[in-house]
Structure 1
Amino acid sequence: MITFIVQARVGSTRLPQKILLPFYEGKSILELLIAKLRLVSNTQILIATSDDSKNDVIEEIALSNNVKCFRGSENDVLQRFIDAAEYVGAEQIIRVCSDNPFLELASIQTLVNRVSDEKCDYMSFWVDGKPSIKTHFGFWTEYVTLKALKKVRVLTEDSLYHEHVTNFIYSHPKDFVVSWINGPDVLKGRDDIRLTTDTIEDFKTAQTVYSRLVGVQIYPTIAQVVSFLDQHGELLQSMKQQIHINSK
């Protein structure tokens, strides 16, 4: 069984407690993500947060939604993921960022299906010449094995790679079996779309898009999101400003 490990903590530098703020109909992004991930068959969900007391509220949300919660290192996120996976006996992991409300359900299912048929250490989406995790889109998740994460722990002590869990793997393809799924053509050349929620401006823009789209389609596709944004230039302009300020 594949395990979704949702990386969550309240200590964001730019927008503290962003995953707890009411995002849609009183629910937080974290709660909305849990509901979405539950729709993917043959998987389980685990919230991985830190053992700092300020994250008690995340554990409360997890338990109130009947989801297991693991608490580990605040700064060594790699170790937290390894410990979390071992906590539930997970060998196959899909890493989920808890601040991305637009994760596409179809893409998650595609990833689950592909890794069930293909042996690899890491798999995610390749979009417009780069790994999706390096973009501002916020549409995708990443698959990784526990074995690969343990290998990273052995190969490097660099704090960068212990904070950004999968970076070492896709940056060192000679040491791992890395596989990519091509992102949709509709996103080629789209350096004007940002749906991650790192700042309050991001949050408000994403909230506007989400609230308008969910009334039409409860889990909007990438194509639907892009089509909507192309009809609302003022939202794209706001995104461009945040992309310029928050370059990856």
Structure 2
Amino acid sequence: MSNWGEVFKQTVKTLADAGFAEAEAEARVITAHAHGEDFSSLCLRFFDVCGKEAEIERLVAARLSGKPLAYVLREKYFYGRPFYVDERVLIPRYDTESVAQRALLLARENGYRTALDLCCGSGAIGVTLGAEGRFETVCFADISGGALDVARRNAGNLIPRQEVSFRQGDFLENIDGRYDLVVCNPPYISAEDYAGLEAQVREYEPQAALLAGNGGYAFYERAAREAPRVLEPGGALVLEIGDTQAEQVCSLLAGGGFISVESGRDLSGRPRWVFGIAPAK
């Protein structure tokens, strides 16, 4: 029987031989997942008998098929927390953490107490708001019932004491009342750009959560037009954007009556979010 160190080295080799650029990083995640602890803890057990070879081989085989690692493991970390993910939802990206961070800062500055995670997918943003902020309630909304099932599972696991609600419908359909904060990572990929995405994104992640009409701006146009209905006066709308969309989305929000419209970048320096404040009435 092999020890954990030997299994880890073999996993790195298998992935590297198959052409995976991040073979060692992915091998760390796979072996740590099978062990049930983080990789630092696993390193202390490298000379212990593994006993999980069959499970690791199964995970590696799934990865070699082209399936994204997060779907293979049914897990993706976001803002330091492990989220359950499957093919019903987009895989949370590190870039989106800057959107959640901006929303949390606005909430703290303005004393926001109610939040809506629109187009919630896995619920990564809404759960992060509930865990890191001081919200009385967080609502999760998505057109996909499957996505809401995933969001419900993550909210139950990660913010069990937070008051939450779930709404299924097309964008703001079925959203009652008003919120201090609306955060949305909508579909924003144009048909042209979608065709150029890497294969594992196009083949595995839900198209409806990525592809948007009007050159990628359809949901931003709807947000500028419809979001004021569900925002409290002085409330904020925070939108994730593609890195070429800041100027146009800012213009849409300003044209929709939002004030104090700003854009900002993620930690990689790429434009990543736009926000606007609903005017007082």
TM-score, shorter chain, exceeding 0.5? no
Between Structure 1 and Structure 2, whose CA radius of gyration is higher?
2
Q: TM-score, normalised by structure 2?
A: 0.28
Q: With structure 1 as the length reference, what TM-score do the two structures score?
A: 0.31
